Amino acid sequence: MAHRPPESGRTRDVSMLDYALELAACGWEVLPLCRKAPLTAHGVHDATTYHEQIARWWHRWPEANVGGKVPAGALVIDVDPRSGSDQGWAALARDHSLPAILTTLTGRGDGGMQLYFKRPAGAISGHRLPPGIDLKLNGCCVLSPSIHPDGGSYRWQLAQIAPCPTWLHEVLRPVPRPKFCAARGREGAAPDPRAARAAGLAVRER
């Protein structure tokens, strides 16, 4: 996975266009944002590494934030402390080792962050994550050095996109669906004679 963050932080002499182009050169498909909302007609579907298109966007919206499409083969864990999810994430990760992870710290300055992992094989779901922690498999994320609505800048914690740890993969496995039998309905339910006959099973009517 070739995606990596630029090596530099934002300075007054470097424009958002320069950072968007640098991110594109690092493999990120980018698009312009108004705060967190895409400015283009088709949203994240317009994200690109094509420098000419990127230049046209930022000449039109020179102060636009930089959004990045979730990389193919990656997942993002989005932690929003306003709902207490920082404590939920800390509890989730407390007893487990965590590799150095490519992370974006939000400009709100309260511990909000987005962590990038390689996506494991098979189906995954965020239904068992603590409240306020979201799983992103597509869509876009706000990238550094964009400006948060509260005024602070998004910042990278530099690392590679890390393999998903086994313990996190277990949390992301979909919740198994109840087994279903035509004769019994959902597991543990009383037999349904009509369903049994439909399934060709002999159930004696009482």
Reported as a single tens digit per residue, the pLDDT across 105-117 is: 988 878 889 999 9
Q: Say if residues 107 and 152 touch (Cβ distance below 8 Å).
A: yes
pLDDT of residue 202: 41
Instruction: DSSP letter for 180, please.
Output: E
Helix (H) or strand (E) holding 185: strand 185-186
Is the omega angle on the peptide bond into residue 145 within 30 degrees of 0, that is, cis?
A: yes
Give per-residue pLDDT as tens, 50-102: 999 999 999 999 999 999 999 999 999 999 887 766 677 777 878 787 888 89
CA distance between the termini of the chain: 64
pLDDT over 60 (residue 194): no
Q: Which amino acid is at 110?
A: D
Give per-residue pLDDT as tens, 149-192: 888 999 998 788 999 999 999 999 987 776 655 545 555 555 55
Residue extents of the structural domains in the chain: 16-172, 178-206
Q: Which residues pair with 53 in a beta bridge?
A: none
Instruction: Report the C-alpha gap between 126 and 164 in whole angstroms.
Output: 14
137-158 residues labelled b (16+ CB within 10 A) or e (exposed): eeebbbbbbbbbeeeeebbbee
E strands in 24-176: 30-34, 37-38, 65-69, 74-79, 102-105, 113-118, 133-136, 140-142, 155-157, 162-163
Q: Say if residues 118 and 70 touch (Cβ distance below 8 Å).
A: no
Instruction: Output the six-digit token pair for 93.
Output: 């990760």
What's the longest Cα–Cα distance across the chain?
85
Q: Say if residues 64 and 83 touch (Cβ distance below 8 Å).
A: no
Q: What is the pTM of this model?
A: 0.79
